[in-house]
Chain A
Amino acid sequence: MLILISTLSMADGSKVPPPNGDQCVEDPSWMRTHHFETILHQRDETVIRGIRTTEHSLKNCIDCHITPNAEGEYARYSNDEEHFCASCHSFAAVSIDCFQCHSDRPEKAVREAIKRHQANGINPHHGMQKSVSDLIFNSNLQAVQAK
């Protein structure tokens, strides 16, 4: 476990912009290995019982940890090692599907992106991001077509 934690710590690459605030809601070393437990617990509490404490909510993680880089750009989970979650998950080879539905950026960043899209005449929902199943399906399709 110690090795795991130390490797995970190493994965906190310097590419990730610093978070807002200076203290995590839990001990960071515990968070590195257990954050999914709190998120899993919180999701049912929130959806089913309407409990909206922000301490362990995914939205709060994002609001704090996903900050703009020097150019003012917000990193994306799908294709960016600057994204706080992605930086570690890609290092540890963890695949999650949280961000197929949940926003990987704070609301401000999403609203800005939507404005940019609309100004350029692009539909905000038109997916640049492909789901894993789409990628598998497409690669299978190509394989079939190649035959």
Chain B
Amino acid sequence: MNKVVSKAYQLLPKFKASSGASCDQDLDQSKRSFLGGLVGASGLAIAPGVMLYETANAKPADQAVTDAVRWGMLVNTNQCTEECDACVTACNDEHGLWPQEGSTTDSQWIRKLTVTDPATKHSKSFPVMCQHCEHPPCVDVCPTGASFKRDDGIVLVNMHTCIGCRYCMMACPYKARSFVHEVLENQLPHTPRGKGCVDSCNMCVHKVDAGENTTACAEACQKDGHQAIVFGDLNDPNSEISQRLREFGGTQIRADLGLNTGVRYQGL
């Protein structure tokens, strides 16, 4: 089996060549175990239609999420402009993250970054949010198990058991988490959050569970005409996100950490 898988893997030189240095190994490993679980890659290539995947339709409300899907997002930085912050505004509105006057500690679930290559002065602007890692450091360090990864790959804070120690904030290489320092008012019913807990991007889990198959940021980006953010199922080879990744590739921020993030970037 191993032989078949590794041989089949050699059929994907483009993928291998396009990714960074040490992260290749982890990507390879995850790809291998993924393919290994599916009777080998040749089966995947010969008869893709035969494979049974859960499509992105709504799961029944009374059933638990499964690892048949892995939700992810792909950000095409070539289509993201520096002056646009539609994704940030949409996230704040969706989850009720109203900015507090005079507060320097507002929760940021998504933020726009602009990076410049010092050599060429070439700039890129793109949103960064929780990267929904396959191996999330925030989960590793959480002393109560409040920071956890759902079976479908969404990394969440269980605020019922979060004690506000903020280890996860230290552990996260993406600075994706925020701590709520002040008493909140007017939280929205689908996004409960409050003082003393850590919170972060939840990949619009209420929308995902309702089968809406999108996130507020992706939706806003589409509406704004940039279409830079694609949300979808990384496990489904026919999903738009998988097709785009297959065709154009995608990089992870800090891929060297080998976290296998669910959020990927193009053009970085």
Interchain CB contact under 8 A, B197 and A59: no
Quick one: given A102-B192, A123-B101, A125-B98, are A114 and B159 in contact (CB under 8 Å)? no
- The segment from A9-17, A24-32, A48-56 that touches chain B is A48-56
- Place the interface of chain B in its size category: 35 or more
With the chains together, A45 CA to B158 CA distance in Å? 11
Give chain B nearest CB distance to A88 CB in angstroms. Answer: 21
> Which of B160, B182, B186, B197 has most A Cβ within 10 Å?
B186
Mark out the residues of chain A between 80 and 125 whose CB falls within 8 Å of any chain B CB in the assembled complex.
100-103, 106-107, 110-111, 113-114, 117, 123-125
Interchain CB contact under 8 A, B186 and A124: yes
A147 at the interface (CB under 8 A from B): no
- 0/1 per residue, B168-192, Cβ < 8 Å to A? 0000000000000011111111101
If over half of B's interface residues share one DSSP class (helix, strand or loop), that class is named, otherwise mixed; here it is: loop
Chain B residues with CB below 8 A from A107, complex form: 188-190
With the chains together, A100 CA to B184 CA distance in Å? 7
- Place the interface of chain A in its size category: 35 or more
Interchain CB contact under 8 A, B183 and A44: no
Partner of B185, one of A44, A45, A48, A128: A128
A140 at the interface (CB under 8 A from B): no
A–B Cβ pairs within 8 angstroms, 17 of them? A43-B160, A44-B160, A47-B156, A47-B159, A50-B152, A62-B189, A103-B187, A103-B189, A103-B192, A107-B188, A113-B186, A114-B98, A114-B186, A125-B98, A125-B99, A127-B185, A129-B183
With the chains together, A44 CA to B146 CA distance in Å? 11
B62 at the interface (CB under 8 A from A): yes
Quick one: given A52-B210, A53-B61, are A123 and B100 in contact (CB under 8 Å)? yes
